[in-house]
Amino acid sequence: MLKEKCGVYAAKCNGEVFSKLYWGSLAQNHRGHESYGFLTYYNGLRRYVDIGLIPRIEREEFQRWMNLLPGEMGIAHVRYGTSGRRDAGLKYAQPIVSSNGRRKLGIAYNGNIVNIGWLKRELKIKDEVCDSELLCKYLNIKDNIIEQIENCMELVEGAYSVVGLSSNGDLFAFRDPHGIRPLIFGKSEDAIAIASESAALDINNIKLEGEIEPGELVIISKDEMERIKIVKDNRAFCGFEFAYFSRPDSIINGRFVYRIREELGRRLGKRYEDYVRKADIIISIPETADDAAYGLHEETGLRWERALRRHRFVTHRAFIMGPRERASIIDMKVNIANSLKGKKVIIVEDSIVRGDTTKTIVSKLKRAGAEKIFVFITFPKITHPCFYGIDMATFSELIGFSMSNEDIAKAIGADAVCYQEYEDFIDIIGGNLCMACVTGNYPTKTAQDIANRAKLIPNNKLRIYEYFEV
């Protein structure tokens, strides 16, 4: 089970900004469950962070929150840790704030820095710190924020979609030259907002206007948004956003994500006709594979049964557990709503990373009597780790790194595993994507060097962030 690394939000409005930040972050809570936070500007910076999910705030409590976080501009964050200790809780919660003695600067950030060793040396920091703290200190070196963001885009390698707010009241956002993680903006009569996903604009009735382009900085002042192109657009947007991370009702590149997922399902139906002919029903892993299952059903005419259901209130997090506990919590999260006795089942899943989630589900289907199980995967085979902010384990933990499709099927107890072909995926989504976890071709140099070196170490169990220290 993969974890997305953070959602960011920024807004400037005529009136109190807190409600925009709150609802926008709530709409992006799927991107990070570990902690959340808000930072607003009102005669200086006001910050509130806490661990866990964004809380439910009742109508009568809103005023108290607005008093705590007053002002017309602010930024917000939901976090799943990319580096730093995951059990550190509040210490790494964002927005994170640093001071250079003349000014305070707060940022909320989505992504991962690859050349973190260089950054630590540059800042003369030896202790364990997370990449957001380093990035915040780095951006605060110079008082001229534009100049320092130019330096950042030239020298800091990795994925970073950043929103920031200073104690001088500067509100800004920028995206790394490859635009690996999403960042979009929208406007309404009374507000300008920047978010990771368009669904977080919709909830505030803010109309999506476009994306912050790779290598672009925007500065928001009064009701205006100034766009400054810092470096050339070298786009390599994360392909995995389409298959798994983004909300189905978000728009990326002008298309609803759920429509793309339907198409991914349809293409699997065309590509694997032999297995479709042998199958009786389609089942999907809720909820990220539901749209693809619908597309597959439309394409093939096979019945789609929503026979797997989630226990809505079992929200325990599997990532803090070992493989055995993780399998057992996944087993508890999903229930089978039907007998599958004697059925030949296509189970649609968005991806296979370690294989333990799919294995647990396959064994559940077998216990419910399924005779044959063909696993259809909407994303191509993941063979390499992600260095850009997605928790894709180590080389040794990636089941697709060393195993053939047949061996993977055997390992997870299925009769066949059918991955989306890389060419089909590109054909559906379009080009200019990062697909490094599939192809091993990373859009940035240090990441490529690290991957090439790490691949040569047998049974390499180094976590991704440990490579960066080297």
Question: Shortest approach of ligand SF4 to residue 113 CB, angstroms?
Answer: 13
All residues at 6 or more sequence positions from 275 whose CB lies less than 8 Å from its CB, including other chains: 346, 374, 376, 416, 418
Question: Shortest approach of ligand SF4 to residue 158 CB, angstroms?
Answer: 10
All residues at 6 or more sequence positions from 200 whose CB lies less than 8 Å from its CB, including other chains: 7, 9, 24, 25, 27, 28, 193
- Nearest CA to 320 out of 51, 36, 29 is that of 51
Question: Shortest approach of ligand SF4 to residue 5 CB, angstroms?
Answer: 10
Residue 155, Cβ neighbours under 10 Å: how many? 12
Strands (E), 337-442: 344-349, 372-377, 416-419, 433-434
130 or 434, CB closer to ligand SF4? Answer: 434
Examine the residue annotation and report whether 418 is marked as an active-site residue of this protein.
no
| Greatest alpha-carbon span in the chain | 71
Handedness of CA 391, 56, 49, 139 (dihedral sign): positive
115 or 204, CB closer to ligand SF4? Answer: 115
Binding site for ligand SF4 (CB under 6 A): 180, 238-240, 386, 388, 390, 434-437
Q: Which of the residues 6, 13, 152, 434 is marked catalytic?
A: 6
**329's tokens:** 């919590």
Please return the burial class of 440, using the count of CB atoms within 10 Å of its CB with bins 0-12, 13-18 and 19+.
middle
Angle, CA 254 vertex, CA 250 and CA 256 arms, to 5°: 35
Question: Shortest approach of ligand SF4 to residue 388 CB, angstroms?
Answer: 4
Angle between helix 290-300 and helix 257-271 axes, rounded to 10 deg? 50
76 or 435, CB closer to ligand SF4? Answer: 435
3 or 326, CB closer to ligand SF4? Answer: 3
Question: Shortest approach of ligand SF4 to residue 322 CB, angstroms?
Answer: 23
106 or 215, CB closer to ligand SF4? Answer: 215
Question: Shortest approach of ligand SF4 to residue 387 CB, angstroms?
Answer: 7
- Give the separation between CA 374 and CA 276, rounded to whole angstroms: 9
- The Cβ-side half-sphere exposure at 84, using a 13 Å CA radius, reads 22
Q: Residue with structure tokens 């090439």? A: 452
All residues at 6 or more sequence positions from 351 whose CB lies less than 8 Å from its CB, including other chains: 2, 240, 243, 244, 377, 378, 379, 382
**150's tokens:** 């130019």
* Helix and strand counts by DSSP (H, E) for the chain: 18, 24
388 or 467, CB closer to ligand SF4? Answer: 388
All residues at 6 or more sequence positions from 296 whose CB lies less than 8 Å from its CB, including other chains: 265, 266, 268, 269, 282, 302, 304, 346, 348, 376
58 or 423, CB closer to ligand SF4? Answer: 423
Question: Shortest approach of ligand SF4 to residue 244 CB, angstroms?
Answer: 9
268 or 435, CB closer to ligand SF4? Answer: 435
The answer to whether 111 touches 388, Cβ cutoff 8 Å, is: yes
All residues at 6 or more sequence positions from 201 whose CB lies less than 8 Å from its CB, including other chains: 24, 184, 186, 193, 195, 207, 208
Question: Shortest approach of ligand SF4 to residue 435 CB, angstroms?
Answer: 5
Catalytic residue positions?
6
